[in-house]
Amino acid sequence: MSKIIELSPLIWQGLGETLYMVVVSTFIAYLIGLPLGVILVATDKNGIRPMPVLNTVLQVIINFLRSIPFLILLILLMPFTRIVVGTSIGSTATIVPLVVGSAPFIARVVESSLKEVDRGVIEAAQSMGASNFKIIYKVLIPEAKPSLILGAAITITTILSYSAMAGACAGGGLGDLAIKYGYHRYQGDVMFIIVIILVLLVQLFQEVGARLAKLLDNRL
């Protein structure tokens, strides 16, 4: 217990770094993944603007990036990360592979959510002369909002697990502490505390996401 008290400033710092990585990388990844998901749905053969070639190219790129395990992606992107942020270690550097690794995942989550929208609603909007942009902005996204929020909660917990894995490569945050103290120094109590914190964070994100989705679900 004395070791935990001694390391409490580092644990708080690690928690701050983890939240920083998760929040910033989630925001940037959604700036990339959300439009990609919308384009995948819109350009699908049954979409509002079928474009088979573009859709196929995006599908291949997304599937390729999603098939690479995060730790391998983290190592592969180290030269690129150095170019972008000037270093390949630490919490800021970890944001780069987190964005690259999670943006394709977000695209798939968004695609899945948008495809749940009733086709009849889209056809009704088209019959009233709505443009493709209006259908996306005023029909698809609002109708899929509860599912999109649940997907965001899943995404955040996925990025949180990625950030913990980055600790194996000096990525900062709670994962880095778990490796340095819990694993290399055989301090099981520190490892246990960090695991509990991560579990609580996952529960918090999931609960907030579920409540928001329920609040915004017009069908209830």
Residue 1: the pLDDT is 54
At 91, the amino acid letter reads S
pLDDT tens digits, the chain, 220 residues: what are they? Answer: 556 666 778 888 888 989 999 999 999 999 999 999 999 999 998 888 899 999 999 999 999 999 999 889 989 999 999 999 888 888 888 999 999 999 999 999 999 999 888 888 888 888 888 888 888 888 888 888 889 999 999 999 999 988 888 877 777 788 888 888 777 777 777 888 888 888 999 899 889 888 888 887 755 4
Interatomic CA distance for residues 63 and 58, integer angstroms: 8
H or E element in which residue 170 lies: none
Euclidean distance between CA atoms 170 and 189, whole angstroms: 21
Rounded CA separation 172/85 (Å): 15
3-state secondary structure of 46: coil
pLDDT reported for residue 2: 56
Half-sphere exposure at residue 48, Cβ-oriented, CA atoms within 13 angstroms: 27
Distance (Å, whole) CA 152 – CA 98: 15
pLDDT at 219: 52
Which residue in this structure is represented by tokens 């443009």?
A: 131
